[in-house]
Every structure is written in structure tokens, then in C-alpha cells.
Chain A
């Protein structure tokens, strides 16, 4: 008895799904080889895509797993970058050493800011995060405490030095980012399946019920924010080392919106969803430059259409898809 093509395909997928490390390994090898035949420009585009994937994953913790509206995520991206830059420029700290401090600073500020506002309901929370993002950006522009360099930003940031090799070329930065990205994805997958991840999902689905079940929702939401923001800080430090010039524009609202769309349009709560989102929101507009002037309009149109046709995103996690469909039928 011969198998029909579709059932052969299905059984192939099933066996692949059973051995995730097989195709995940294949993807990693693909990513390792990808930049080799490409010129510096495309390598930089790849790097930028990867950076936004990392930012998307960090926001995914907050928006996707815990279901909180964060429209000021870029502020923490900037905080990480500025921390790394200031430590490097003023204290001469080698860039890679600044990474833990950049993460810590972003996490700390996230803790201080979000603790008092977590009880706010969805759309109010969104507004407060927007406001906070702007406060951070404007403080950077106004040269807070005299160390943020004003609208000029900071320049002359040192390149990261790894085992004696100074990472100058785009391909070096790509591999450095790839390393961190692989770690991030592994961590996210673990979180998704852990007790913590499930606790977040309960809160996202029905906060009142979760409270009733004994979950300390306030603390868990705070944890999501702190972790996600710290991760964004890491991305910021990597950015500082690559571009060597940073400016307050990193924290502008549009950046936060792009990150938010990466998560929500790509598919909230799912890692492949974030990748698709990053490809769509960052890589595609970069490669289709003739669309430049109308890019914002296309992005807006995509946002509206996606919400109407497929609010769970292009590649959502199964749970969220179910949640949203249930809500609609209700």
C-alpha cells in the first residue's frame, strides 16, 4: 500500500516535530552559512533583522506571554545602549563587560517604573508606556545629568573585543548577535514551557481567575516586564557596539510601535511569529526602498488589515489563536 503524497508529507512533519533539535539545528547551520556569500550591506541587513528578532522576542515576553500592553519598549532598548555607551566612554569599560550592567539598568528601571502602574487596565497601561517612552527619549535629548550627550547622542563607542579579536566587520557583529540570539531562543522556549510561562498564560487568559487560583498576578506581571526589558537592554548594548554612535531617536515612539507590530502582527506568543514579524516589518521595507515615502502608509494599512482579517498575527501560538477565536465567538 503506497502512502498518498499528503499523508507522507504529514508523517514527515510529525517525525520532524518529534525531533525539534533536527530542524532547529538545520536552521542554525543555515544561519551560520547565510552571510558568507553576501556583501557587507546585506550582512548588515541580516544583522538588523536579527536585532529586531531579539527585540521582538523580548517584547513577546511582555505582550505575548503575559498579555500586557507595552508601547514604550524602545525606551529600554535605549537605556541598555546608553548604559553600555556611558560606561564604555566614561569609565573605559570594555564593551562586553558593560553588557550585564546594561541589562541590569534596563531591568532596574523597568522595575521602578512598572511597579506602580501594573494594576492599570489594558489601554491605560498602553498610554502610560507611551508616555514613559517619551519621558526617556526627552530626558536623553535634554542631556540628563550631563552625561547623555543631548540630541547629538554619544559617539566613539568602542567595538566589542572577544578573545583578543576586535569585532569590526559586519560579519563579526552578525555572529556575535547570532550567538546571543540562539541563547535567547533557547531561553524563551524553556520559559514558554515552564511553570512560569504557564502562569503567565493563565494571567493573560483570565486574570481574575488566575488570582482566584492563588497566583500572585502582580508579581508575575512585574517579572515579565523586568525580564523583557532587561533583554531589550541587551539588544541595546549590542546595537551600541555595532553602530558606535547612538542617539535619543532609538527611544522614539515609532520604534516601539515597530517592535509591538513585530510581535502582534507576526504572531503574538510564538517564536516563529516574531521572526516573521521582524522580516515583514524590518527586512522587507529595507529591501523595497522604492516604497520609502509610502512606507508608513503601507505599515498602517497592514496593521488595520491584519487586525480585521487575522488579529492573532501571521504565525501565532496555538493558544493565543484559540483565545482570540473564543473571544470573538463570545
Chain B
């Protein structure tokens, strides 16, 4: 029975990793750059949600669950906006500057975002206002509990992933994105506005990250500014595990990582769970760098 509960635990945290991984994998797929700042964008989603919910709650006098909707949209848009800004200012000038410069720039942006959060909100932990999320258990079966919140999170992750997948596969913008991912020069020759497509990628990717941040923040209830770093790295591992650039891969990778981590925590020791995650990363990159479901980016010959 403990095992079943651990599976549920694993899938919950797995869906978080998957949510954050989606943004990573999108950006890497199109631009072949590791957006180190993604984890901090995710963290800002949580922080902005904190501010947003407090403001919304005080404006209406009490916490109303329906306020979640508008705040959710607002947070997603703001973080998406930050993403576009970051791309324009810190990444676009470096598009032809080799592989090293974008990594450093991304790290730099990550530090700036983290430092801003720490100085604006303070080093202490923030707690989301009570009353916005449904609490309580959905079903119990012999000590195994699945809460309404957990189910909601799983569904949100799945819906977002499916939506993103459809978007990339079926819509014109999505096709254009894949074209840019494959060969930016030819795409430009074919009349695709590469700059705008890239900006769109940075709208959706970080936007998803922001949404994930708000979701995770509400789920745990409290967090501090270190939220971005660990989640970011784990999500990146999940993206690689599933196959970088591959959207269903992000989902699979996230779930798998969540499960492995949880089972390691539960049956071995929580101390080693991060080590195990990193070792998995190293092994995957050593033996199957394209990930479980395969990469979805072109390799230059």
C-alpha cells in the first residue's frame, strides 16, 4: 500500500517536472539553447501569483476560488512578457556568437532574476493565502490518498501538454516553429519571419513556465526564492530524459523522473535522491543522448 501511495506521490511531482520541462524543451527545440533562466521564470510565476492572489483577495475582501482564473491568466501573460523581453535583450544579439555566449548570458539572466526576487520579496518564505485551493481528499483506499488538488495538477499538466502538441503539429505558427527549428536560414528564405517566431517561442515557453510556477506554488502553499534553481535543473533533466525538443518526451521524462526520485526517497533515502537524478542525467547523456523518445532537432552535418 505504501507502494501505491508512492506511485501517486511520484506522479504528482512528475507532472510538475513535466510542466516546467515543456518550456525548456520548446526553447531548446527551436533555438538549440539551454535557457538557464527558465527555472527562475518559473519561480517568478509563483512569486507573482503570491502577489496577485494577495491583491485579489484583499480587493474582494476574501479568497474566492474563481479569482484563480484571472490571476492565472495575468501571471502567465506577465511571465511570458518577461520571457520575450529577455529574449530580445539578452539572447537575440548573441544568435551568431557561437555556443558559449548564449549559455553565459542565460546564466546571467538567471542570476538577475533570482537576485531581483530575493531583494524585492526578501529572503524569507512566502505563503500563499489560504482558501484558494480545494483541500481535501478525493478518494481513499486503505491508507492511500489521492487529493483533489493532485488530480487537478495531473489534469492541468496533461491538458497543457496536449494543447502544446496540437499547437506545434497542427497550426501554422507551430509548423513555422518546426521549420525554424530544422533550418532557420531556409525558413527565412521561405518567407517565415524568424524573429517573430522566436519571440513567440519565448512567449509560450516562459508563459508555460509561469503557469507551472503558480500551480506548484499553490500546491505546496509556501516557497522561497530557491524554488527556481532545483526545479529548473530537474525539469531540464526530465526534458533530456524524454528527448530534448520532444513535447511528449517532456511529459514522459517528467513522470519518469518524478517516479524514480520518489521511489528512491521512499525506499532508499531522501538524501540521495538528487544524486540519483544527476546520475541518471549523466548516464542518459553518455549512452543515449537523444533521450528515451528521441530528439526532435536537426543535427548539423
Give the dominant DSSP class at A's interface: helix
Say whether B85 faces chain A, with CB atoms less than 8 Å apart. Answer: no
Pick from A130, A138, A293, A301: contact of B275, CB under 8 Å: A138
B289 touches A124 (CB 8 A): yes
A69 touches B119 (CB 8 A): no
Say whether A164 faces chain B, with CB atoms less than 8 Å apart. Answer: no
A264 touches B275 (CB 8 A): no
Given A135-B275, A294-B119, does the pair A122, B107 have CB atoms closer than 8 Å? no
B108 touches A327 (CB 8 A): no
List, in ascending order, chain B residues with CB within 8 A of A134's CB.
233, 274-275, 278
List, in ascending order, chain B residues with CB within 8 A of A330's CB.
96
A127 touches B99 (CB 8 A): no
Best-buried of A120, A126, A257, A300 by chain B (most CB within 10 Å): A300
Q: Hey, what's the 0/1 contact readout for A94-126 against B, CB within 8 Å counting as 1?
A: 000000000000000000000011001011101
Pick from B93, B100, B271: contact of A264, CB under 8 Å: B100
Q: Which of A132-170 contact B (CB under 8 A)?
A: 132, 134-135, 138-139, 141-142
A128 touches B103 (CB 8 A): no
How many interface residues does B have (CB within 8 Å)?
44
B115 touches A297 (CB 8 A): yes
Q: Which of B93-110 contact A (CB under 8 A)?
A: 93-94, 96-105, 107-110
Pick from A117, A120, A135, A296: contact of B111, CB under 8 Å: A296
> Cα distance A131–B276 when bound, in Å?
10
A324 touches B274 (CB 8 A): no
Pick from B99, B109, B119, B279: contact of A293, CB under 8 Å: B119
Given A296-B115, A327-B97, does the pair A117, B286 have CB atoms closer than 8 Å? yes
A304 touches B282 (CB 8 A): no
Q: Which of B259-277 contact A (CB under 8 A)?
A: 271-272, 274-275
> Cα distance A142–B276 when bound, in Å?
13
A13 to chain B, nearest CB (A): 31
On chain A, which size bracket covers the interface?
A: 35 or more
Give the dominant DSSP class at B's interface: helix
A131 touches B107 (CB 8 A): no
Say whether B33 faces chain A, with CB atoms less than 8 Å apart. Answer: yes
Q: Which of B123-157 contact A (CB under 8 A)?
A: none
Given A128-B282, A131-B278, A131-B281, does the pair A304, B105 have CB atoms closer than 8 Å? yes
> Cα distance A302–B108 when bound, in Å?
7
List 29 A–B pairs whose Cβ atoms lie within 8 Å, in order of A's numbering: A117-B285, A122-B99, A123-B33, A127-B285, A128-B282, A131-B282, A134-B275, A134-B278, A135-B279, A138-B272, A141-B271, A293-B118, A295-B115, A296-B111, A296-B114, A296-B115, A297-B115, A300-B111, A300-B112, A300-B113, A302-B108, A303-B107, A304-B109, A307-B102, A308-B90, A308-B94, A308-B105, A311-B101, A328-B96
**A interface list, Cβ under 8 A from B:** 69, 116-117, 120, 122-124, 126-128, 130-132, 134-135, 138-139, 141-142, 257, 260-261, 264-265, 293-297, 299-304, 306-308, 311, 324, 327-328, 330
